[in-house]
């Protein structure tokens, strides 16, 4: 049995790691659907793979091959376990339905390469960030354009909070020496009066993750720090250090207590929001690319950077109790 509290020193004692051959090149994004029945992986090899969760791990269910360039990010619908969105360097946003015979059900093209993706919590809006530092908002059902916002600094990650009240944009200053977080009204998609940016990171801010309980959000940056923020007050309340290692991606566990960090080193670390140091270190044979906690279980999916193995040499790793 797993100890009830994730801050228990013996919590990870029975956890093991299983590896699953997946993609020919690096996996940039992974994510569980809202029920946790499926995991999807998006790759530099232009493909998306969808996996079924079984009693012993995962098994491949679908190969999605309609993109014609690197698939940068994917995100499942927050309430419908069959709908998946993806963005690619091929300048498209695609919507997929796992129930349809042809899984790609809608595509919208843009003039720039797409890098970032987020669903609004009500599932009605999709936001896409581009390599030209624009954020475009689309009506999710039809993929019609609602609004576009252009920023004068690098846009690296985007996310609504759990309630949808605010929308966060992880950015970089022009010289890359700071990583401001821009906050806008998540419903009206306009500036919040008296609010411009949240300043904390002394380096490019690369990622933002939401606590599913709605209490916190976390940001990671080139300064090797993970900042934990209070959603209501919009103030940083704690920071975790990865020493000299930039943070690539973050993910909260379903109870909002554990933060997994993908960083540019070979040690994947898991932090507890109430502890000053990491509570678990997973030694890897390459630097980490992506992390995703299961939505209702203490099971972590993660991927590593391609080491030119060829074939399906970029696996998905599952860390948990099987």
Query: Which residue has 């003039």 as its token pair?
Result: 111
Count of beta carbons in the 10 Å neighbourhood of residue 99: 9
- Asked if the structure places residue 322 within a domain, the reply is no
DSSP string across 53-70: E-SSSEEEEEEE---SS-
- Asked if the structure places residue 253 within a domain, the reply is yes
User: What is the reported pLDDT for 307?
Assistant: 66
Is the pLDDT assigned to residue 32 strictly greater than 90?
yes
Domain that holds residue 97: 26-297
- Asked if the structure places residue 316 within a domain, the reply is no
User: What is the reported pLDDT for 142?
Assistant: 95
> Which CATH number goes with the domain that contains 198?
2.130.10.10
pLDDT, average across residues 38-62: 97
Please count the structural domains in the chain.
1
- Asked if the structure places residue 317 within a domain, the reply is no
List Cα–Cα distances, 236 to 8, 154, 227, in angstroms.
Answer: 25, 22, 6
pLDDT, average across residues 210-220: 98
Lowest mean pLDDT among 4-8, 142-146, 228-232, 252-256: 4-8
pLDDT, average across residues 162-187: 94
Does residue 201 contact residue 223 with C-beta atoms inside 8 Å? yes
User: What is the reported pLDDT for 246?
Assistant: 97
pLDDT, average across residues 282-303: 96
- Asked if the structure places residue 18 within a domain, the reply is no
| Alpha-carbon gap, residue 176 to 198, rounded angstroms | 15
| Alpha-carbon gap, residue 57 to 293, rounded angstroms | 14
Angle at 66 between CA 136 and CA 167, to 5 degrees: 25
pLDDT, average across residues 23-47: 97
Confidence of residue 312 (pLDDT cuts 50, 70, 90): low
| Alpha-carbon gap, residue 130 to 266, rounded angstroms | 29
User: Quick one: which H or E segment has residue 307?
Assistant: none
User: What is the reported pLDDT for 306?
Assistant: 80
Q: Quote helix, strand, coil % in the chain, to nearest 5.
A: 0, 55, 45
Contacts of the segment 63-68: beta carbons below 8 A, 24+ positions apart: 64/96, 64/103, 64/104, 66/94, 66/104, 66/107, 67/92, 67/94
Is the pLDDT assigned to residue 310 strictly greater than 80?
no
Is the pLDDT assigned to residue 7 strictly greater than 90?
no
pLDDT, average across residues 217-227: 98
The predicted-structure confidence for 269-286, as pLDDT tens digits, reads as follows 999 999 999 999 999 999
User: What is the reported pLDDT for 1?
Assistant: 45
Q: Which residue has the higher pLDDT, 224 or 4?
A: 224
Lowest mean pLDDT among 60-74, 122-136, 191-205, 287-301: 191-205
- Asked if the structure places residue 311 within a domain, the reply is no
User: What is the reported pLDDT for 313?
Assistant: 76
| Alpha-carbon gap, residue 170 to 189, rounded angstroms | 16
Confidence of residue 222 (pLDDT cuts 50, 70, 90): very high
DSSP string across 79-129: S-TTEEEEEETTSEEEEEETTSSSSEEEEEE-SS-EEEEEE-TTSSEEEEE
pLDDT, average across residues 155-173: 96
Is the pLDDT assigned to residue 204 strictly greater than 50?
yes
Does residue 197 contact residue 209 with C-beta atoms inside 8 Å? no
Is the pLDDT assigned to residue 227 strictly greater than 80?
yes
- List the one residue out of 168, 192, 188, 191 whose CA is nearest residue 180: 168
The predicted-structure confidence for 125-154, as pLDDT tens digits, reads as follows 999 999 999 999 999 999 999 999 999 899
Confidence of residue 195 (pLDDT cuts 50, 70, 90): confident
Per the structure block, which two tokens stand in for 225?
A: 């720090």
- Cα dihedral 135, 136, 139, 140 sign: negative
pLDDT, average across residues 150-174: 95
pLDDT, average across residues 221-247: 96
- List the one residue out of 97, 59, 70 whose CA is nearest residue 81: 97
- Asked if the structure places residue 307 within a domain, the reply is no
Per the structure block, which two tokens stand in for 164?
A: 């949808």
- Asked if the structure places residue 14 within a domain, the reply is no
| Alpha-carbon gap, residue 165 to 186, rounded angstroms | 5
């Amino acid at each position: 049995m797993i100890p009830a509290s994730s801050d228990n020193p013996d919590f990870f004692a029975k956890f093991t790691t299983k590896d699953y051959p997946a993609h020919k090149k690096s996996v940039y994004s992974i994510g569980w659907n809202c029920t946790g029945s499926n995991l999807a992986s998006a790759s530099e090899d232009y493909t998306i793979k969808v996996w079924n969760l079984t009693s012993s791990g995962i098994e491949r269910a679908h190969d999605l091959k309609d993109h014609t360039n690197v698939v940068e990010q994917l995100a499942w619908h927050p309430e419908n376990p069959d709908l998946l969105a993806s963005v690619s360097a091929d300048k498209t946003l695609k919507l997929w339905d796992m129930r349809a015979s042809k899984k790609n059900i809608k595509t919208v093209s843009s003039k720039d390469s797409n890098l970032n993706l987020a669903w609004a919590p009500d599932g009605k809006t999709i936001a896409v960030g581009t390599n030209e530092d624009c954020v475009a908002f689309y009506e999710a059902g039809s993929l019609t354009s609602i609004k576009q916002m252009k920023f004068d600094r690098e846009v690296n990650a985007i996310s609504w909070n759990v309630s949808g009240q605010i929308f966060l944009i992880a950015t970089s200053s022009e010289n890359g020496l700071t990583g401001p977080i821009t906050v806008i009204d998540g419903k009206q998609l306009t500036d919040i009066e008296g609010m411009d940016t949240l300043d904390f990171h002394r380096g490019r801010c690369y990622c933002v993750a939401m606590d599913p309980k709605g209490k916190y959000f976390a940001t990671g940056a080139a300064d090797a720090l993970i900042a934990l923020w209070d959603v209501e007050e919009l103030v940083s309340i704690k920071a975790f250090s990865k020493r000299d290692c930039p943070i690539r991606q973050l993910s909260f566990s379903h109870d909002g207590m554990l933060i997994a960090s993908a960083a540019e080193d070979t040690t994947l670390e898991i932090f507890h929001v109430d502890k000053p140091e990491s509570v678990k270190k997973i030694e890897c044979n390459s630097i980490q690319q992506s992390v995703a906690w299961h939505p209702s279980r203490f099971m972590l999916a993660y991927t590593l950077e391609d080491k030119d193995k060829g074939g399906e040499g970029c696996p998905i790793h599952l860390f948990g109790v099987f």
